[in-house]
């Protein structure tokens, strides 16, 4: 069997024997309480009546409206929906608690992304501002082993922290037209969304600053080092700088002006491109050959 097919076959076996579960985020909001042994779910905060969606294809196993007790214990689930996902491997149950409205009925089949209710604060929540979805995943049975939902759902990480430029330099800073020089950078991000790209910006004596090239980065936090090269075809003075952008859209430049010059600050670098002076050595023909 060809190597490629071996790998595909191995992946299929892995999927069948372990789990290949991908779920839809049940609500567009922020996870403010994560999964722990005391809280076997995640709490996703969003405004009142924000739509709540089925995380995967399934069947409505149970709904409860107007009840503030869950399965007989003192847990204040409020209005809730329980879905059973028989098509998933492993078979899972998902629970959507504290809903304001329930928009499905028992035994109804639902598909991933279908609205099942709206965000509320029914049951045990923290007052009128506590609108959130308590989202739970169970394996084996409706009250089986609890699973951290972040294992199956990729949530967009809220990030308002600017990335930073750790190092920036251009070498050489004076050269002949046609020669190549190198613009080196090192960048990092601590906000959680990861690095998206570094843009190279250039200005000269005629044109204002403009982006002339970009390096796409694959979401790492860094520090990541990279470089650009340039070789202007016209002699004169040029200035170079970089912009670093994270996946949440926060940006910074080499001056780190969005982080009060932290961790360090660099000015745009000036490069002088000199008109080419010929260094060709002309060897004269022997006059004797013309005589």
What are the residues binding Zn ion (CB under 5 A)? 41, 43, 134
Q: CA dist 42 to 38, 92, 116, 216, Å?
A: 11, 16, 18, 33
Pick between residue 44 and residue 56 the one whose CB is nearest to Zn ion.
44
Instruction: Please choose, from the candidates 268, 102, 246, the residue with its C-alpha nearest in 3D space to the C-alpha of residue 185.
Output: 268
The token duo for 77 is 């689930």
Pick between residue 42 and residue 245 the one whose CB is nearest to Zn ion.
42
Pick between residue 116 and residue 271 the one whose CB is nearest to Zn ion.
116
Pick between residue 122 and residue 250 the one whose CB is nearest to Zn ion.
122
Provide the minimum distance between the beta carbon of 121 and Zn ion in the complex, in angstroms, as a whole number. Answer: 12
The token duo for 235 is 């002699």
Report which residue's Cβ sits closest to Zn ion.
134
SS3 17: helix
CA pair distance 29, 45, nearest whole angstrom:
5
Provide the minimum distance between the beta carbon of 29 and Zn ion in the complex, in angstroms, as a whole number. Answer: 13
Pick between residue 84 and residue 134 the one whose CB is nearest to Zn ion.
134
- Whether the link from the prior residue into 117 is cis, omega within 30° of 0, is no
CA angle, 144 as apex, 85 and 152 as ends, to 5°?
50
Provide the minimum distance between the beta carbon of 3 and Zn ion in the complex, in angstroms, as a whole number. Answer: 47
CA pair distance 173, 6, nearest whole angstrom:
53
User: Which parts of 22-173 are beta strand (E)?
Assistant: 30-33, 42-45, 51-53, 58-64, 79-85, 92-102, 109-110, 115-119, 132-139, 145-147, 164-171
Pick between residue 64 and residue 202 the one whose CB is nearest to Zn ion.
64
CA pair distance 186, 24, nearest whole angstrom:
35
């Amino acid at each position: 069997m060809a190597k490629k097919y071996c790998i595909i076959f191995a992946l299929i076996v892995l999927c069948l024997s372990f789990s290949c579960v991908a779920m839809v985020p049940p609500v567009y909001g922020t996870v403010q309480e994560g999964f722990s042994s005391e809280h076997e779910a995640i709490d996703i905060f969003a405004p009142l009546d924000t739509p709540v969606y089925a995380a995967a294809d399934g069947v409505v196993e149970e709904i409860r409206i107007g009840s503030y007790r869950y399965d007989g214990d003192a847990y204040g689930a409020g209005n809730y929906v329980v879905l059973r996902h028989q098509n998933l491997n492993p078979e899972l149950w998902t629970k959507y608690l504290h809903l304001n409205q329930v928009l499905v009925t028992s035994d109804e089949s639902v598909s991933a992304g279908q609205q099942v209710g709206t965000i509320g604060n029914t049951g045990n929540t923290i007052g009128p501002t506590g609108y959130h979805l308590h989202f739970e995943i169970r394996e084996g049975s409706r009250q089986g082993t609890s699973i951290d939902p972040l294992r199956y759902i990729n949530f967009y990480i809220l990030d308002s922290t600017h990335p930073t430029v750790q190092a920036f330099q251009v070498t050489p800073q004076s050269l002949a037209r046609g020669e190549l020089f190198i613009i080196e950078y090192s960048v990092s991000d601590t906000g959680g969304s990861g690095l998206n790209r570094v843009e190279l910006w250039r200005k000269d004596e005629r044109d204002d600053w403009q982006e002339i090239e970009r390096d796409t980065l694959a979401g790492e936090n860094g520090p990541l080092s990279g470089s650009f090269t340039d070789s202007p075809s016209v002699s004169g003075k040029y200035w170079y700088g970089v912009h670093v952008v994270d996946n949440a859209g926060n940006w910074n430049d080499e001056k780190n002006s969005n982080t009060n010059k932290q961790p360090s600050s660099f000015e745009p670098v000036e490069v002088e491109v000199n008109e080419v002076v010929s260094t060709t050595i002309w060897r004269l023909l022997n006059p004797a050959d013309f005589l």
